[in-house]
């Protein structure tokens, strides 16, 4: 590399690093407000088969089931739910507050709310609380 090229390269690097940092900063600023999440239910022994599958069947699997996999996501089995979609994982075992599936059902970001606006009734606070408890208890 000639000396001139070196300098150009350095200048470029100096210019792109702050731009990159700014971009990361704006992603950070758009982080969901977790204080708006309904708290997890107190109930113990929450399982997918008993408690969660019926909720997903009623509200989610017409778009996330065996026929349609919107966002690359199926919610009709425990295994598929844990595998997640295009932005997997959506469920972080033991940490419902960090699970994007919980952010979406709590409608923290209107653009990522599930079910999408006008495409089904929002889940109730009780349903969200139960899904949070299920994830916090290890998503079994």
* Contact set with ligand HEC (CB under 6 A): 59-60, 62-64, 70-71, 73, 75, 84-88, 90, 100-101, 104-105, 112, 114-116, 119-120, 123
Nearer to ligand HEC, 5 or 127 (CB): 127
Query: Strand, helix or coil at 69?
Result: strand
Beta bridge mates, 69: 64
* Dist. CA 127–CA 100, nearest whole Å: 16
Query: Strand, helix or coil at 107?
Result: coil
User: Contact at 8 Å (CB) between 52 and 127?
Assistant: no
CB of 44 to ligand HEC, least distance (A): 22
């Amino acid at each position: 590399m000639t000396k001139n090229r070196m300098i150009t390269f350095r200048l470029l690097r100096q210019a792109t690093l702050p731009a990159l940092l700014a971009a990361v900063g704006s992603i950070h600023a758009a982080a969901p407000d977790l204080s708006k999440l309904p708290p997890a239910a107190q109930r113990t022994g929450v399982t997918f088969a008993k408690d969660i599958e019926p909720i997903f069947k009623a509200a989610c699997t017409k778009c996330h089931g065996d026929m349609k996999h919107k966002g690359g996501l199926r919610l009709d089995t425990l295994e598929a739910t844990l595998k997640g979609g295009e932005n997997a994982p959506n469920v972080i075992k033991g940490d419902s507050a960090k699970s994007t599936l919980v952010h979406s059902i709590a409608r923290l970001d209107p653009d990522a709310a599930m079910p999408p606006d006008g495409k089904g009734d929002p889940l109730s606070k009780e349903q969200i609380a139960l899904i949070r408890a299920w994830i916090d208890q290890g998503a079994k």
